[in-house]
């Protein structure tokens, strides 16, 4: 009998607790591979690091950093780095585990990893941010590398931070190693199409799901929570398809416009102010009212644990597209299923980002770069093919898309584990 982990204490709706319940739900569909299922319930490696830096005022500050490699049976670790004051070991473990599932679901040759620093980056100057990023990279440098574990941007990180990470790692190994991170600036080996790839994946899977439930995107009403990289890119693509973006919520406020926002006016406002709050082309509304908005499509693209059981009962959407990682807690999943609301789960819905990260990694190794049209065509094909396979499993067993995605992904991971065997 395998004992539970001693270093985390999950609750049913906490990130790791949510992930464990998702694994438990899929276990009956794993057949003989179920004997390996405990492999999925513990990370391969978890590194906690201290990050001391000198602040601009001459004092020394310490930050807590993590890098977790959940499973690497199918290839090197792959997963983002987030800078957020609420980052914890448990959260990073869950995010790394969801990366394992996500990579296997779209059949990329990666395992799952994730990293984070417990910090509010808005309180640091650019120079302080650079010093923290470089020190963190040096501390986790013992376990990352182009063939070991490849970080990428996540919440509050961006191409500039990836450039600092790549440069720091390269200086430490004595050679330029562009493949150590993805999501880099274009002229440092970044890929065209990477910035909007996650949002594009949300749109592509949403378009396919809408077809399945006979929902016409032209005129469909969409609500978006989180208007960063993912939410804004998805909103733009849905608007181009004729949908109306009627409600948006982010850290700066919640706004509503029943006729649909004019994104050509909203986007410059967001770039100038850092959020949607205060935009004159919509009415402000209470943050909790957002979940009562009458819409066809809800896109949670912020942080995990946003759709609780209570909010799931009130949600008026026909389709939920999970742009964020882990936005729906398990009890809410059951309520949405009972109500007939279709949920396209994070582990396939937002896999566009890691798919184009894979393209970037491949391009870095070959030093041969593709056009944005080529990248978007390949991304669309991978996402559509993966979703078809998952939908087939869901129909075959009469299970939700989330459990079906886990079934496809866990089978691939555990098959690799079984075939590799245990060493020594």
Backbone angles phi, psi at 256, to 5 degrees: -135, 140
The gap from C-alpha 421 to its chain's centroid, in whole angstroms, comes to 30
Give the 3-state DSSP-derived string for 155-190, with helices as H, strands as E and coil as C: CCCCHHHHHHHHHHHHHHHCCCCHHHCCCCCHHHCC
DSSP string of 316-361? --SEEE--SSS-B-HHHHHHHHHTT-EEE-HHHHTTHHHHHHHHHH
Beta strands in 73-168 (DSSP E): 77-84, 111-118, 149-153
b/e 166-182 (16+ beta carbons within 10 angstroms → b): bbbbeeeeeeebbbbbb
State the Cα–Cα distance between residues 77 and 69, nearest whole angstrom. Answer: 6
Q: At what angle do helices 197-212 and 372-397 cross, to 10 degrees?
A: 40
State the Cα–Cα distance between residues 320 and 306, nearest whole angstrom. Answer: 12
Whether 101 and 25 have beta carbons less than 8 Å apart is answered as: no
Question: For 315-321, which contacts have Cβ atoms below 8 Å and span 24 or more sequence positions?
Answer: 315/291, 315/339, 315/341, 316/292, 317/223, 317/341, 318/213, 318/215, 318/342, 319/206, 319/209, 319/210, 319/213, 319/215, 319/344, 320/344, 321/202, 321/205, 321/206, 321/209, 321/234, 321/297, 321/349
Paired tokens of 305: 């644990």
Q: Which of 78, 102, 114, 196 is catalytic?
A: 114
Q: What's the length of the chain?
A: 424
The gap from C-alpha 37 to its chain's centroid, in whole angstroms, comes to 23
Paired tokens of 122: 């808005």
State the Cα–Cα distance between residues 79 and 182, nearest whole angstrom. Answer: 9
Residue 287, number of CB atoms within 10 A of its CB: 10
Beta bridge partners of 62: 52
Secondary structure element (H or E) that encloses residue 193, with its range = none
Q: Is 114 known to be catalytic?
A: yes
Catalytic residue set: 114
């Amino acid at each position: 009998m395998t004992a539970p982990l001693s270093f985390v204490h999950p609750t049913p709706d906490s990130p790791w607790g949510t992930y464990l319940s998702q694994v438990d739900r899929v276990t009956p569909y794993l057949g003989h591979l179920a004997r390996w299922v405990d492999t999925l319930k513990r990370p391969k490696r978890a590194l906690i690091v201290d990050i001391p830096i000198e602040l601009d005022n001459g004092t020394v500050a310490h930050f807590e950093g993590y890098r977790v490699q959940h499973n690497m049976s199918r290839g090197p670790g792959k997963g983002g780095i987030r800078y957020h004051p609420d980052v914890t070991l448990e959260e990073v473990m869950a995010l790394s585990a969801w990366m394992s599932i996500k990579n296997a679901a779209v059949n990329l040759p990666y395992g799952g990893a994730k990293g984070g620093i417990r910090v509010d980056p808005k309180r640091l100057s650019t120079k302080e941010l650079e010093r923290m990023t470089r020190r963190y990279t040096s501390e986790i440098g013992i376990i990352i590398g182009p063939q070991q574990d490849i970080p990428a941007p996540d919440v509050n990180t961006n191409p500039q931070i990836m450039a600092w990470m790549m440069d720091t790692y390269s200086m430490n190994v004595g050679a330029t190693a562009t493949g150590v991170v993805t999501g880099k600036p274009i002229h440092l080996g970044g890929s065209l199409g990477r910035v909007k790839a996650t949002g594009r994946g949300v749109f592509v899977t949403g378009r396919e799901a809408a077809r399945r439930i006979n929902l016409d995107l032209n005129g469909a009403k969409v609500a978006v929570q989180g208007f960063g990289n993912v939410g804004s890119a998805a909103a733009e693509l849905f608007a181009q398809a004729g949908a109306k973006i009627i409600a948006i919520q982010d850290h700066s406020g919640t706004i509503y416009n029943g006729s649909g926002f004019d994104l050509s006016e909203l986007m410059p406002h967001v770039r100038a102010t850092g959020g949607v709050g205060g935009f004159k082309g919509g009415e402000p509304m209470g943050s909790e009212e957002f979940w009562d908005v009458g819409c066809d499509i809800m896109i949670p693209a912020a942080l995990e644990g946003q759709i609780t059981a209570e909010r799931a009962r009130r949600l008026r959407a026909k389709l939920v597209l999970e742009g964020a990682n882990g936005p729906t807690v398990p009890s809410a999943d059951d309520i949405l299923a009972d109500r007939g609301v279709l949920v396209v789960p994070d582990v396939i819905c937002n896999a566009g980002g890691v798919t184009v990260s894979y393209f970037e990694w491949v391009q870095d190794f070959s030093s041969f770069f593709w056009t944005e049209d080529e990248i978007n065509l390949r991304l669309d094909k991978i996402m559509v093919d993966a979703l078809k396979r998952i939908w087939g499993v869901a129909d075959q067993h009469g299970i939700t898309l989330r459990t079906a995605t886990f079934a496809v992904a866990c089978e691939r991971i555990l098959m690799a584990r079984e075939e590799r065997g245990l060493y020594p």
